Each structure stands twice: as structure tokens, then as C-alpha cells.
Amino acid sequence: MTAAFVLDHRLAEGSFFIEDWDLCRVALKNDTTWPWLYLVPRRTGIREISELTQADQTKLIEEISRASRALQDIYQPEKINIAALGNMVPQLHVHVFARFKNDPAWPRPVWAVQQNEISYTDAEARTEVEKLKNCFARLLDS
């Protein structure tokens, strides 16, 4: 019997659930500074992309692309950044986030800038989650 997927508490506490895709749980990071998604493969005990099956690796790339296209469509950023670090939270998760020339870290990596996160209000979070869900659905249909 396979163990049930459990999202690391740090990711769960710092984000808003959007939806589950074929492979990944998709969540919005609770920080208004950047439109920022977490994609977390719903597989237990996985720390590295290379530990996923070949089929899951392919699915992960497809889902990263879908998340990237949604951020591009909604926010029109200068660049989409994608990272899988895992230094603080070892559960495999991929950061997909929008960058803008006027953001506090541009053009440096966001982790190079010490900054306080600015949380969404409940209403803002609901609005952003709904906007993302609608865009995800449109991309799936196209």
C-alpha cells in the first residue's frame, strides 16, 4: 500500500491551495510581492526531480509549462523564473514565479534580497486563486 501524499507543513502554511493536477498540487505563495506558484508532485518521499519516474518527469515539465503560461497570460511579466531548491523544505517542490523590471530584486535572484513578505488579504487571495483557476482551465481547453 502506498503512503498518502502529505504537503509539507511549511508549504501548506505559507500558501493557498489552488487545485490538484495530474501530478502536482498547485498552490499560490502567500506573498503579494511576486505572483508565485508552488508545484508539488504528489509523490511521497521524493526530494529530487531525478527520483521521479520518467513519466512523472515528463508530466512535471508539462505542468511547469502550464503554470508558466498562466502567469505569463495573467501578469505579462518580463520573465518567468523556475527553481527547485529544497534547501529549507526537502519535499520536492518547484517554484514558478513572475519577475518584473520594477520588482524589489530585479535583475538579481529573489533569494538574494532580504525582504519582508507581504501577505494577501483573504479577499485578495480568493481573487488571485480564482483568476489562476480560470486561466488554468482555459489553457487546458486550448
- Asked if 11 and 30 touch (Cβ cutoff 8 Å), the reply is no
Does residue 50 fall inside a structural domain? yes
Tens digits of residue pLDDT in 79-109: 999 999 999 999 999 999 999 999 999 999 9
Mean of per-residue pLDDT scores for the chain: 95
Residue 110: count of CB within 10 angstroms of its CB: 19
Does residue 3 fall inside a structural domain? no
CATH code of residue 106: 3.30.428.10
Helix axes 122-141, 54-75, angle to 10 degrees: 120
Please, what sign has the CA dihedral across residues 5, 6, 12, 17? positive
pLDDT at 114: 76
pLDDT at 41: 98
Does residue 1 fall inside a structural domain? no
- Asked if 81 and 99 touch (Cβ cutoff 8 Å), the reply is yes
pLDDT at 3: 80
Distance CA 70, CA 98 (A): 10
45: left (phi over 0), alpha (psi -120 to 50) or beta: left
- Could you tell me the residue range of the domain that residue 88 belongs to? 9-141
42 DSSP 8-state letter: S
Q: Give start and end residues of each alpha helix (H) in 3-121.
A: 9-13, 54-75
Does residue 2 fall inside a structural domain? no
Question: Looking at the 3D structure of the chain, how many domains does it have?
Answer: 1
89: left (phi over 0), alpha (psi -120 to 50) or beta: beta
Does residue 24 fall inside a structural domain? yes
What is the block-wise mean pLDDT of the chain (142 residues), using blocks of 10 residues? 87 98 98 97 97 98 98 98 94 98 94 87 98 96 82
Tens digits of residue pLDDT in 108-117: 999 888 778 8
